[in-house]
Chain A
Amino acid sequence: MTSIAPTQNSDQSAAQGMDRSFARPQTLMDLVWTGIAFTLLGIALLPLLLVLGYVIFKGIGRFNLDLFTQQIPAALQPGGGVGSAIAGTLLTVAIATLISVPLSILAAVYLSEFSSKNIADWIRFATNALSGVPSIIVGIFAYGMFVVTIGKFSALAGGVALAILMLPLIVRSTDEALQLVPQDVRWASAVVGASQFQTVLQVILPAALPTILTGITLAIARAAGETAPLIFTTLFSQFWPRGLFEPIPTLAVLIYNFATVPFQNQQEIAWAASLLLVLLVLLSSLFARWITRKSFYSQSQ
C-alpha cells in the first residue's frame, strides 16, 4: 500500500468522492473487481427477469374474467378457470391467519413485555428454529395430527398447517416491532394509571402496528404460495369450496398438479394461476413496504 490517495473531509462519508483517476495497478485491479461484481449482480438479477418474464408470457393469454369465475377444468375439458382455486386459497389463508395472528402477537407480547431474559431467549431460539423446519415436514405432521384424527382431508387441516408456517414470521416481526417502542412510552402509560393490559393493547400495539402488519402481510404471502403442506391436508377438488371440512382446491396445489400433465388446456391454466400467484406476492410485498413507511418507531437505515 504505497499509494497516498488524497483524503477527504472527515464529515463526509469516507467512500464518497474518492479520486480514482490514478492509473495505478491497484486501481486497475479495482476496476476489474468492480466489473466482476457488477457482472455477478447482473447474473443475480437475471433469473428474476427470466422467471417473471416467462410467467407473464405464458400466463397472460388466459388472464381474463373466466379465469376468476370458472371452475377448474378436468382433463380434456375446454375452457374453465381457477375461480374455485382462488376461493380455496383465500379460505385456507384466512383460516391460517385467524389462527396464527392472535397466537403470534400474544406470544410476542410475552417475549417483549412480560418474560425474563433467559426464558425469552429460549423461546426466541425455538421460534427461529421453527422457521427453518422444511414445509414438507410440517405437511406430514399436519396430516398425522389433523387429517387422520378428524378422518378426512379438510380446509381446516390445511389452514392449521399454514398457520404453523406463519407463526415464526409474525412472532419475529412483532417482537422486533414491540422492542422498538421506547421504554418511556410504557412508563408514561403507567404514570397515568393504566394497567399493563391497557398499556399493551391501547398504547404499545397500536404504535407498533405498521411493522406488525408488514410481518403479517409477508407471512400471508408466504402461506399463499406453499404447496407441500396442502397436498397432505387439503388434497384437491375441482369444485367451489362448500365447507371447512372438505378437500378444496388451492392455487399452489393446482399448479403442482397441472405442471406435469400433457394436456394443453390444463397447462395453460396452470401458467395463468402462476401469474396470479406472482402478482399476489408482488402486490403484498409492495403493500408491506408501503405500510412500514408509516411506522412511528423504526430502525434507522
Chain B
Amino acid sequence: MINQLLASRRSLFLGLVLLTFTVTSCLGLAKGSEPNVTLIGSGATFPAPLYQRWFSEYNKQKPAIQVAYQAVGSGAGIEQFTQGTVDFGASDVAMKDDEIKKVKQGVVLLPMTAGTIVIGYNVPDQKTGLKLSRKALGDIFLGKLQKWNDPAIAKVNPDAKLPDLPIIVVHRSEGSGTTAVFTKLLSKISPEWKEKVGDGKAVDWPTGVGGRGNEGVAALVQQIAGAIGYIEYGYAKPTKIPVANLENKSGQYVEPNTESALKALATAKLPDNLRVFITDPEGEGVYPLVTYTWIMAQKQYEDKVKAKTLKEVMTWSLTEGQKLSEEMGYVPLPQQTVEKVKAALAKIQA
C-alpha cells in the first residue's frame, strides 16, 4: 500500500523535488580548494557603493569568500549588529558607549574610509557650484527660506539667474548616520535648528520629503524640480547632480573634493578609540561636511574562520581597497590612520 501511496503522489511532488534539487545543486557551485566562508554585514548607505565594490573585487580574487553587505541605514546597521543577526555593522556615526555596552562580545570600531556630504540640488539652468551661506543652509532646512530666488541665496550668487521656484527639502526617511552628521553641523551653525530640531540619526524634520537611503535622496533630488538634499558624494558624482559650495567656519566658500576633504580630516586628530566627529572644521580650504565612516566588528567571534576571514578582508580594504576610493567619490585614508586602524583590527580574536 505504501508503494501505491507513493505512486499516486509522485506526479504532484516530482516537479517540486526536481526544482529544489536543481537549486540546491547550484549551492554547491562555489567550491574551491579553500572552504567557503560567508560574512554578512549591514548598515550605512553612505559607504555602501564602496564596500560592495570592495567585497566584489575581493570575491573575484578569492571566490570562496563572500562578503554580503546590505545597505539599510546606520540605525538599522547598529541594531542588527547589536542583535547579532549580522557579523559586522557599518555606521557613519561611531557607536556610543551605552550602545557598545549592549554588545556582550565587545566592539571594535574600524574607520574604513571617509567621505564628504554634499548638498545636491535640482534647479533648472543652474550648474554645479552654487554658493550657500551658513545661514542660508540652516534656513532652507528649517523651512524658512522657501524660494530659490530669495535674496539670501541671490546675494552670494550674483551671476546666477535664480528662478522663482519653491525649494523642496529632501531628507532621509529612516535612521541615518548621514543625517546625524549633517544635523550636527546644522546645530552648530543655527541656534534655532539646535533648539527646534537638534541632531541625531532620525529627527523631526520641519519640512520636506523622505527618501530611503542616500540613493533615495539622490533619486528624489534628480526627479523633483527645486529639490535640495544632503547626499554622500559617492552618490552625487556618478549621477552628476549639481552640488553646492558651502561656506565654512572661516567664511570661505569651498567646493567638495578630495583636497578640501583631506584638509578637513587633518583638522581632527583620531584618538585611540578611533572615534571622532569632524563637526564644522575651521581652516583654509576646508570643506565643512566630512566624516569618517566605521565598520563595527565584534571583539570576540565564536567562529575562528570568520574572525580570520574578516581580518583579512578588512586588511585588504585598508590597503588595496583604498585605491578604489577616489574614483568612487570617497576619501582615501591617510597612511597614519591606516596604521591605527590595522592596530585596532589586530584586537579581534576568535
Q: Do chains A and B touch in the complex (CB under 8 A)?
A: yes
A interface residue numbers (CB < 8 A to B)? 73-77, 87, 90-91, 94, 97-98, 101, 147-148, 151-153, 198, 201-202, 205-206, 209, 213, 235-243, 246-247, 260-263
* 6 pairs from A and B in contact (CB 8 Å cutoff): A77-B56, A91-B20, A152-B85, A240-B29, A243-B38, A263-B238
Stretch binding the partner chain, chosen from B47-55, B128-136, B142-150, B181-189: B47-55
By a CB distance below 8 angstroms, the chain A residues around B29 are: 240
Stretch binding the partner chain, chosen from B211-219, B245-253, B258-266, B286-294: B211-219
Q: What CA separation (Å) do A24 and B2 show in the bound complex?
A: 73
Interface residue from A77, A241, A262 paired with B218 (Cβ < 8 Å): A262
Q: What CA separation (Å) do A237 and B85 show in the bound complex?
A: 14
- Assuming the contacts A75-B48, A260-B211, asked whether A243 and B27 have C-beta atoms less than 8 A apart, the reply is yes
- Assuming the contacts A246-B40, A262-B218, asked whether A74 and B49 have C-beta atoms less than 8 A apart, the reply is yes
Contact in complex: B52, A148 (CB < 8 Å) = no
Interface residue from B5, B24, B66 paired with A237 (Cβ < 8 Å): B66
- Assuming the contacts A236-B68, A260-B211, asked whether A87 and B56 have C-beta atoms less than 8 A apart, the reply is no
Q: Which residue of B lies closest to A249 (CB)?
A: B68
Contact in complex: A260, B215 (CB < 8 Å) = yes
Contact in complex: B56, A74 (CB < 8 Å) = yes
Q: What CA separation (Å) do A205 and B4 show in the bound complex?
A: 14
Question: Is residue B26 contacting chain A, with contact meaning CB distance below 8 A?
Answer: yes
Interface of A is mostly: loop
Contact in complex: A206, B1 (CB < 8 Å) = no
Minimal beta-carbon separation of B47 from chain A (angstroms): 11
Minimal beta-carbon separation of A160 from chain B (angstroms): 15
- Assuming the contacts A206-B8, A261-B215, asked whether A87 and B23 have C-beta atoms less than 8 A apart, the reply is yes
By a CB distance below 8 angstroms, the chain A residues around B36 are: 242
Kindly list the 5 A-B residue pairs having the minimum CB-CB distance in the complex, ordered from nearest: A75-B49, A74-B52, A237-B68, A261-B215, A262-B239
Interface residue from A87, A98, A242, A262 paired with B66 (Cβ < 8 Å): A242
Contact in complex: A260, B216 (CB < 8 Å) = yes
Contact in complex: A246, B38 (CB < 8 Å) = yes
Contact in complex: A260, B212 (CB < 8 Å) = yes
Contact in complex: A152, B86 (CB < 8 Å) = yes
By a CB distance below 8 angstroms, the chain B residues around A262 are: 215, 218-219, 222, 235, 238-239, 241
By a CB distance below 8 angstroms, the chain A residues around B215 are: 260-263
Contact in complex: B216, A238 (CB < 8 Å) = no
Contact in complex: B83, A148 (CB < 8 Å) = yes
- Assuming the contacts A202-B8, A260-B212, A261-B219, asked whether A76 and B53 have C-beta atoms less than 8 A apart, the reply is yes
Minimal beta-carbon separation of B31 from chain A (angstroms): 10
Minimal beta-carbon separation of B213 from chain A (angstroms): 7
How many residue pairs link A and B with beta carbons under 8 A? The number is 119
Q: Which residue of B lies closest to A84 (CB)?
A: B26
Q: Which residue of A lies closest to B231 (CB)?
A: A262
| B177-217 near A? 1/0 per residue, CB < 8 Å | 00000000000000000000000000000000001110110
Contact in complex: A247, B56 (CB < 8 Å) = no
B interface residue numbers (CB < 8 A to A)? 1, 4-5, 8-9, 12, 16, 19-20, 22-24, 26-27, 29-30, 36, 38, 40, 42, 48-49, 52-53, 55-56, 59, 66, 68, 70, 83-86, 211-213, 215-216, 218-220, 222, 234-235, 238-239, 241, 328
For the A-B complex with A151-B84, A236-B68 known, give 17 more contacts whose Cβ atoms are closer than 8 Å.
A75-B52, A75-B234, A90-B22, A91-B23, A94-B16, A94-B23, A151-B85, A152-B86, A238-B56, A240-B26, A242-B30, A242-B38, A243-B38, A246-B38, A260-B211, A261-B213, A263-B238
Contact in complex: A239, B48 (CB < 8 Å) = no
Q: Which residue of B lies closest to A95 (CB)?
A: B20
Minimal beta-carbon separation of A296 from chain B (angstroms): 15
- Assuming the contacts A91-B23, A98-B20, A237-B68, asked whether A148 and B85 have C-beta atoms less than 8 A apart, the reply is yes
Q: Which residue of A lies closest to B19 (CB)?
A: A94
Q: What CA separation (Å) do A263 and B239 show in the bound complex?
A: 7
Contact in complex: B27, A241 (CB < 8 Å) = yes
Q: What CA separation (Å) do A216 and B106 show in the bound complex?
A: 47
Highest count of chain B CB atoms <10 Å: which of A101, A153, A242, A247? A242
By a CB distance below 8 angstroms, the chain A residues around B4 are: 202
Minimal beta-carbon separation of B93 from chain A (angstroms): 22
Q: What CA separation (Å) do A101 and B216 show in the bound complex?
A: 38
Contact in complex: A236, B12 (CB < 8 Å) = no
By a CB distance below 8 angstroms, the chain B residues around A238 are: 52, 55-56, 68
Q: What CA separation (Å) do A98 and B24 show in the bound complex?
A: 14
Q: What CA separation (Å) do A198 and B5 show in the bound complex?
A: 8
Contact in complex: B70, A247 (CB < 8 Å) = yes
Q: What CA separation (Å) do A147 and B86 show in the bound complex?
A: 11
Q: What CA separation (Å) do A209 and B9 show in the bound complex?
A: 10
Minimal beta-carbon separation of A211 from chain B (angstroms): 13
By a CB distance below 8 angstroms, the chain B residues around A213 are: 12
Interface residue from A97, A153, A205 paired with B16 (Cβ < 8 Å): A97
Minimal beta-carbon separation of B329 from chain A (angstroms): 9
Q: What CA separation (Å) do A197 and B18 show in the bound complex?
A: 27
Q: What CA separation (Å) do A98 and B19 show in the bound complex?
A: 11
By a CB distance below 8 angstroms, the chain B residues around A152 are: 40, 84-86
By a CB distance below 8 angstroms, the chain B residues around A201 are: 5, 8-9
By a CB distance below 8 angstroms, the chain A residues around B23 are: 87, 90-91, 94, 241
By a CB distance below 8 angstroms, the chain A residues around B38 are: 239, 242-243, 246
Q: What CA separation (Å) do A241 and B20 show in the bound complex?
A: 13
By a CB distance below 8 angstroms, the chain A residues around B239 are: 262-263
